[in-house]
Amino acid sequence: MARLTKLPWILGEQQWLDLLAVARDEPVRNRVMLALAYDAALRREELCSLRTDDLDPAHRTLRIRAETTKTRRERVVPYSVATGVLMSDYLTHRATISRARGPLFLSESRRNYGQPLTLWTWSKVIRRVALAADLPRFSTHTTRHLCLTDLARMGWELHAIASFAGHRSTESTLTYIHLSGRDLAEKLNQGMQQIHSREAVASGAAASGEPWQYYDLGHGWCTYTFFEQCQHRMACARCDFCTPKESSKGQLLEAKDNLRKMLANIPLTDDERAAVDDGQTALDKLLERLADIPTPAGPTPSQIGAPATLLQVIDLTTRTRSCRSGEPC
């Protein structure tokens, strides 16, 4: 039988506001716990196990002890200014219950007054708030899902989110990247560029044989469709696929700095990396090795007879972009 894999449920913007509206009437302890659960993406046990000495109000951070975590990894996480205000109010209130150091969140029920708040009690609080907000799917773990998804939407790197969440492996973190839709948005953007390029071809923009897709090399354009596979991509031999710019003077003086800006999604060979890191000596070796290797247009650099040019690769661009005055398109 096929196994179904579903993404965690998270709230929409209005649902979150509805929940906060209900939580506003809760005691200060419950409000600060809900705020911390979101700010620091805390699991239920991590939240309920916090102690007074885990708190650093001066820097607005929490120490999540290894023994309270699912992965047995200690971490330090921040919380917001607004949560800091709530925390100050709660600490003042807590002093009326107990001044002893120890568990941060205490029960205020008649039966367990002053005792550490249990996981079950916190679950009941969240269940009551969720039903009052008409959000029956909301649980103690939903705030964690929402926080990590928001971090992914904000562009946090995968490993940074994993470290913040206390994940042992980034495989768990990928769930939130997918849930945020960030990876799909990037792929959509890349795909739309290709679609627009193909539309330029279909509309007849390339009917005269002019290129419809090219890489901006700084000193010119490479119109070779499979640029990423070209062995001369970092040492351009000025083959027939290369269209020079009139504004190329002075570009070569910045060649080494330009190379460091090469697109990260084009993996470099060891020789190419050496050309970036080690300068002219390594570049000369790269040019010597490529001297008799055919360019995409056919002839080798030796046959062309033109000096190779160290490149800056800026981006994959399309013919639909407007051209500057005096520059070929």
Is residue 328 in a domain? no
Is residue 195 in a domain? no
pLDDT digits (tens, 9 = 90+) for 199-243: 544 555 555 555 555 566 666 667 776 666 777 766 676 676 766
Is residue 78 in a domain? yes
**Which one, of 231, 285, 234, lies nearest residue 256 by Cα?**
234
Confidence band for 249, pLDDT divided at 50, 70 and 90: very low
Q: Which residues pair with 310 in a beta bridge?
A: 235
Distances in whole angstroms, Cα of residue 89 to Cα of each of 64, 119, 253, 300: 22, 22, 61, 75
pLDDT digits (tens, 9 = 90+) for 288-312: 767 777 777 677 777 776 555 544 4
Pair (67, 131) in one structural domain: yes
Pair (147, 47) in one structural domain: yes
* Amino acid symbol at 42: L
pLDDT of residue 318: 39
Is residue 90 in a domain? yes
Pair (237, 102) in one structural domain: no
**Which one, of 186, 48, 171, 190, lies nearest residue 117 by Cα?**
48
Pair (21, 156) in one structural domain: yes
* Amino acid symbol at 324: R
In the numeric block, the tokens 């969720």 are attached to 130
Residue 139 and residue 324: Cα distance in Å, rounded? 56
Domain boundary among 180, 197, 223: 180
Is residue 85 in a domain? yes
Secondary structure element (H or E) that encloses residue 20, with its range: helix 13-23
Say which residues have a Cβ less than 8 Å from residue 59's Cβ, sequence separation at least 6.
Answer: 78
Is residue 186 in a domain? no
pLDDT digits (tens, 9 = 90+) for 62-94: 999 999 999 898 999 999 999 999 999 999 999
**pTM of whole model > 0.75?**
no
Pair (93, 44) in one structural domain: yes
Number of domains in the chain: 2
Pair (136, 264) in one structural domain: no
Pair (157, 38) in one structural domain: yes
Pair (95, 152) in one structural domain: yes
Residue 125 and residue 15: Cα distance in Å, rounded? 18
Owning domain of residue 286: 210-318
Sheet with 61-64, side-by-side order of all strands: 55-56, 61-64, 75-78
Pair (83, 39) in one structural domain: yes
